[in-house]
């Protein structure tokens, strides 16, 4: 049995490896996961709408449906995006199994072996995993608090004529928690136009803003239909249902529909109907408001604890939304060594190195604040602070 060449490129998720270590330790405080807080799932309403669907429409909910997706939900998505100044219609939407599948399908649509994908430094690990099977070159572009360094991006585009995609999480990034400024949003669109590349805008966290003004999505600033927007209900409703979507130029969406047909026929039909009915039933803005206030409370607590317990040589981001913050340790400190020490004291996190497509940067750490129970935050950060202090 001879595996395909591409299999040499794939590797298991570093997060899941840390997760296994943490699970093996009793009562470990974990800042490693990237999960929504399950206490915020609209479980009661989900039960009600599901009961209704399985009583009234089981012949639709449990049957094969359209590859494109469940039409009433698509109509709601179009309406929602139009309200966010994204000019689109039904022909621009394809439902996917979470936005993860969207990344993978855009990779399949565009990437030949040897092509280049540019990402932020650091970037979402799952995107790297999605692109690797297409035998591409992944290049990280250095980023600062308001987005990529634009001169570094332009250099990367100049030096890599085979660049096909720029993958971005411009709002409350996973892992860094950073958000792109409006100026850089406009600038990246301009560069994409100039160098004829496609931007993937992955936006699972955009609605979870604790403070400050909402900024326009890249898709709403798109002048040549070259932004592929990926949306998801995983972070604002619930993750396990795996309902996400692509909004993109319609010819591309047609190709992706054909890819989807071969890949898995369609996204779970009941799940799409559950989301659709839930959007009818609940006040989504009020629900998101609850998520925001719960996560803001945790972020505030985590920031306060970091200020109190961390040594002064640790740099950190203060995210205006989302689920993550990002630590930079002194250059010679190795987050993997810190992790081993902190696990001995039952505190876990994800070292930041794997979030850089070209490696290195082992002196970085991702901390999640959405999943950890509130009363674990202070004791966990206190221990981590001591470990960092002793190492430094």
Q: Rounded to the nearest whole angstrom, what is the least distance from the CB of residue 30 to its own copies in the complex?
A: 14
Q: How far is the CB of 89 from its own copies (least distance, A)?
A: 19
Query: According to CB under 8 A, which one of 109, 230, 302, 329 is a site residue for its own copies?
Result: 109
Among 89, 151, 190, 240, binds its own copies (CB under 8 A): 240
Cα 373 to Cα 109, 228, 376, 377, distances in angstroms:
40, 35, 5, 7
Q: Tell me if 163 contacts its own copies by CB under 8 A.
A: no
Q: Which lies closer to its own copies via its Cβ, residue 89 or residue 251?
A: 251
Q: In what order do the strands lie in the sheet with 364-368?
A: 315-316, 324-328, 364-368, 350-351
Which residue in 77, 117, 166, 198 binds its own copies (CB under 8 A)? 198
Q: Which of residues 307-366 bind its own copies (CB under 8 A)?
A: none
Closest CA to 171 of 139, 138, 140, 214: 214
Using CB under 8 A, pick the residue from 120, 249, 276, 362 that binds its own copies. 249
Verify binding: residue 63, its own copies, rule CB under 8 A.
Answer: yes
Nearest to 21, CA basis, from 372, 392, 340, 319: 340
DSSP 276-305: HHHHHHS-HHHHHHHHHHHHHHHHHHHHHH
Count of residues near its own copies by CB under 8 A: 79
**265 sits near its own copies (criterion: CB under 8 A):** yes
Among 80, 87, 112, 144, binds its own copies (CB under 8 A): 112
- For its own copies, which residue of 196, 340, 358, 390 counts as binding (CB under 8 A)? 196
Q: In the complex with its own copies, which residue's Cβ is closer, 90 or 318?
A: 90
Q: Is 65 a binder of its own copies (CB under 8 A)?
A: yes
Task: Give all strands (DSSP E) within the chain, no chain letters.
Answer: 29-30, 93-96, 116-121, 137-144, 147-148, 163-168, 198-202, 227-232, 244-247, 315-316, 324-328, 347-348, 350-351, 364-368
Please check whether residue 237 is in contact with residue 285, taking contact to mean a CB–CB distance below 8 angstroms.
no
Closest to its own copies by CB, 10 or 286: 10
Nearest distance in Å: CB 133, its own copies? 6
Closest distance of CB 149 from its own copies, Å = 25
Q: Contacting its own copies (CB under 8 A), which of 118, 148, 157, 164?
A: 164
DSSP 16-83: HHHHHHHHTSTT-EE----PPPGGGS-HHHHHHHHHHHHHH-HHHHTS---SS--HHHHHHHHHHHHH
Beta-strand pair 29-30/347-348: parallel
Of 111 and 305, which CB lies nearer to its own copies in the complex structure? 111
Min dist CB 113 to its own copies, Å, is: 9
Contacting residue, 160, 250, 268, 345, with its own copies by CB under 8 A: 268
d(CA 263, CA 350): 31
Residue 17 within binding range of its own copies, rule CB under 8 A = no
Q: How far apart are CA 51 and CA 45, in angstroms?
A: 10
Burial (CB count within 10 angstroms: exposed 0-12, middle 13-18, buried 19+), residue 50: middle
Cα(11)–Cα(1) distance, integer angstroms: 20
Nearer to its own copies, 18 or 130 (CB): 130
Does 32 contact its own copies by CB under 8 A?
A: no
Which residue from 148, 157, 241, 329 is in contact with its own copies, where contact means CB under 8 A? 241
- Give the binding range for its own copies (CB under 8 A) out of 116-124, 129-137, 173-181, 381-389: 129-137
| 46 touches its own copies (CB under 8 A) | yes
């Amino acid at each position: 049995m001879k595996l395909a060449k591409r299999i040499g490129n794939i590797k298991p998720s570093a997060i899941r490896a840390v997760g296994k270590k943490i699970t093996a330790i009793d009562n470990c405080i974990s800042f490693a996961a990237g999960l929504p807080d399950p206490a915020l799932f609209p479980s009661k309403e989900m039960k009600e709408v599901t009961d209704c669907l399985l009583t009234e429409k089981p012949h639709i909910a449990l049957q094969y449906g359209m590859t494109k997706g469940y039409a009433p939900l698509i109509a709601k998505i179009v309406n929602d995006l139009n309200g966010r100044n994204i000019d689109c219609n039904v022909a621009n939407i394809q439902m996917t199994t979470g936005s993860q599948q969207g990344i993978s399908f855009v990779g399949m649509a565009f990437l030949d072996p040897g092509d280049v994908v540019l990402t932020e430094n650091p970037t979402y690990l799952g995107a790297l995993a999605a692109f690797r099977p297409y035998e591409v070159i992944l290049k990280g572009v250095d980023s600062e608090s308001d987005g990529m360094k634009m001169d570094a991006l332009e250099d990367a585009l100049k030096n890599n004529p085979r660049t096909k995609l720029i993958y971005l999480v411009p709002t409350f990034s996973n892992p860094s928690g950073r958000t792109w400024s409006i100026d850089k949003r406009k600038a990246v669109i301009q560069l994409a136009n100039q160098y004829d590349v496609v931007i993937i805008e992955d936006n699972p966290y955009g609605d979870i803003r604790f403070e400050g003004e909402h900024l326009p999505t890249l898709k709403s600033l798109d002048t040549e239909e070259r932004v592929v927007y990926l949306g998801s209900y995983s972070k604002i409703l619930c993750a396990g249902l795996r309902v996400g979507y692509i909004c993109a130029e319609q010819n591309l969406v047609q190709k992706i529909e054909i890819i989807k047909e071969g890949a898995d026929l369609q996204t779970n039909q009941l799940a799409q109907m559950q989301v659709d009915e839930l959007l009818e039933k609940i006040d989504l803005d009020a629900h998101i408001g609850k998520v925001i206030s719960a996560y803001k409370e945790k972020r505030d607590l985590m920031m306060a604890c970091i200020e109190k317990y961390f040594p002064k040589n640790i740099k950190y981001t203060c995210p205006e939304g989302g689920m993550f913050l990002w630590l930079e340790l002194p250059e010679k400190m190795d987050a993997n060594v810190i992790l081993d020490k902190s696990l001995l004291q039952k505190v876990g996190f994800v070292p930041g190195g794997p979030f850089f497509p070209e490696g290195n940067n082992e002196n970085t750490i991702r901390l999640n604040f959405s999943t950890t129970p509130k009363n674990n935050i202070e004791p966990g950060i206190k221990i981590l602070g001591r470990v960092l202090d002793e190492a430094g």
